Chains A and B, each alone.
Chain A
Amino acid sequence: MLHKRLNSLQLLPKMRLQKLLNIMLVAVLFLGASSLVSNLFIGDVYADSVAQRIQSVGSILLEGEPQPEPVVVEAVETEPAPAPQGAPKLKREDYPRVGASSRSVVWIAAQMHLFFAAFVLAVPLFVLVIEWIGIKYADDRYDDMAHEFMKITMTAYSITALLGGFLAFSLFLLYPQVMEYMMRVFNLQVLVYAGLFFAESALLYIYYYSWDALRYGNKKWLHLTVGLGLNVAGTTLLVVANAWVTFMMAPSGVDATGAVVGNIWEIIKGPLWNPINLHRFIANIAFGGAIVGAYAGYKFLSAKTVEMRAHYDWMGYTANFIAILAFLPLPFAGYWLMAEIYAYSQQMGITAMGGILAWLFIVQAVLIGTILLAGNYYLWAGMSRTEGSKRYAWMIKYIAMVLVACFLVWVTPHTLILSADEIKQLGGSHHKLLGPLGIMPAKNIAVNLMLIFTFLSFQLYRRADKIATVPYANFLNALMVVIYVVAIANVIFAGVYYGYFTNTVYKVGSSVMQVATTLVVIASGIIIDTFLFKKADMIPAVWGRVSNRSQYALFALPIAFTWLMALMGYVRSSVRTHWHVYTVMKDNSPDNFVPSIGYAGNMMTIVTILFLGMVLFIFWIASLSETKQSKPLAQQELEA
């Protein structure tokens, strides 16, 4: 039965993934819009209450109207309210010593927990969409793939919980006063988190284990509803935990001493909460897609039959599709987060991007460049699945050239760490190319062009097995070509003109113009292709007909993603410098300094290797459940 189903994969229509693409885009836009709406209508947590703002400041009497008698309010003796308790002021001896760096222990525990949490929160999001596509088109292959994705998640979920416990114990043991203060601030909210964790666990197990029991008819809709509940619980869990992180970076609802003066909503909704929510939500999906892509690559390379290769090729394609699609808007979410950090505290922004942590953004560029090059390479290699791709093959070398050129611009640092001898040889501390190419306008051009060209690869891949039949095809094709040309010109114009020849305010403002241009290309590409390929003629795409080499791109993606998360997570956390809670609770522990880049790099590498090692363990466990030992020969003979 599996053999039959997999045989039909040879001609699997890719059109249905269009739906997935649309739904994910809508989800991302929805989250962004809801963040915007909450900012606009819920407003600033520091704003006065409505009653205070609209209360009268005087009164007007009409002619002949008697003066109102003054109301005498008798003073009521009340007990003085207790003074609000501020954040504890810790001394060095207040921190327990365990013979190892407390920060390093918490660093590893927190990062490992976050890796697994990101994975297990993300996978059910796209699994739900894939399952829904399976229902809509009555196609069991989608259902099987969604089920297989969940199988990987189940082992990861247990590890997430274990690491969460390890992190909590580490924090309470090594930073008891910090945790006492955080518990005091967030109070019952932490129990909401615990409740959500129970709900998520229950729904996850029901969702996975009822897969076959609730497979068809109305029962399938019940199953889908459980999946929806699981994702609601998971996403709420994410945003609740994000509030702790953003409170430590940009505390709200407390006064300058750290005493709680606002309600829980004011504490949660700090200035960085929504940017982090959006950024983590999108990043988790990209990360989850990359991990399951590696699983598919692993299974593809170890497949013994053509059918299995076809199945895991399709699975890898879908995972890569999800990872790259979610990745495309991620730089913009990151940009919003950094803009809000700058708006909250210019000092904090400068520490991140212009100070001690600035060089890490060059490492970030290398990792993002690796992700984009690997993602593009996989798409180009995947074009060999269909003969129709020959129409577009000539463009690949030009796309590769643009990507490499932009990558080189992006990794160009503004300043170099040089010895006196090197400065002498260079004729100064700045190389002539570092001035113009090391600053943000050049990097903004590079990033946006890389995203536009990655989308072009993606679009060519999706067009490779289709021939448009609609009468207005010529016009739509011309429109798409012109959109690309004008968008590329607009990105370069905005970056060069406003970036180098106008004042700083216009320079910063023009980056929004560039972002909008890139988003227009992506949105119009999706819309135009939807209309262009209505009732299109399909050219057969043979799944499994892809080089083994391409699968290594699927391994490169999660490695780069994991490293990137470790890197940027460290940057985000370190911008607090010597504060547990920025400006409110000082860190006086032996680790109250920003470590050297080399030390931080080693820590990131350790957690990345640890995580990837555990992921391999998960893949092995997932494969083990499919393995069945054959009965020993002697026993078979005995039974015969």
Chain B
Amino acid sequence: MKILNNPLVSMLLAAIVVLTFFYFMNIGIMSIQGLPLNANLTPAQ
């Protein structure tokens, strides 16, 4: 847990977690609506 006190590590770890979450959230939400996205988030249709 001590490593999390380092601001740089905290920021990097948080960025990885949040970016991953939003990336898959975007793909998931559009897929549910029948609007698939490519890996680069462009429309697949």
> Chain A interface (Cβ within 8 Å of chain B)?
471-472, 474-475, 477-479, 481-483, 486-487, 490, 494, 497-498, 502-503, 505-506, 509-510, 512-513, 516-517, 520
Contact = CB atoms under 8 A, between A and B. Distances in A.
Contacts of B33: 509, 512
Given A503-B43, A510-B30, A517 B14 contact: no
Chain B interface residue number, banded: 20 to 34
A509 B35 contact: yes
A502 B41 CA distance: 11
Given A490-B22, A513-B29, A506 B43 contact: yes
A481 B14 contact: yes
Contacts of B1: 471-472
A472 B22 CA distance: 23
Contact of B25 (A474, A478, A510, A520): A520
Given A478-B13, A520-B22, 9 more contacts: A475-B13, A478-B11, A481-B11, A482-B14, A482-B15, A482-B18, A483-B14, A486-B19, A516-B25
Given A503-B43, A510-B30, A512-B33, A486 B10 contact: no
Given A506-B43, A509-B30, A516-B29, A474 B22 contact: no
Q: Which 6 A-B pairs have the closest CB atoms?
A: A478-B10, A482-B14, A475-B4, A478-B14, A479-B14, A509-B35
A474 B14 CA distance: 10
B26 A513 contact: yes
B12 to A, nearest CB: 9
Interface in B5-41: 5-7, 10-11, 13-15, 17-19, 21-22, 25-26, 29-30, 33, 35, 41
A490 B24 CA distance: 12
B4 A474 contact: yes
B11 A490 contact: no
A569 B6 CA distance: 53
B23 to A, nearest CB: 9
Given A503-B43, A517-B22, A479 B4 contact: no
Contacts of B35: 505-506, 509
Given A502-B43, A503-B43, A506-B43, A479 B18 contact: yes
B20 to A, nearest CB: 10
Contacts of B43: 498, 502-503, 506
B10 A494 contact: no
B5 A483 contact: no
A479 B11 CA distance: 7
Contacts of A516: 25, 29
B4 A486 contact: no
A486 B13 contact: no
Nearest to B32: A512
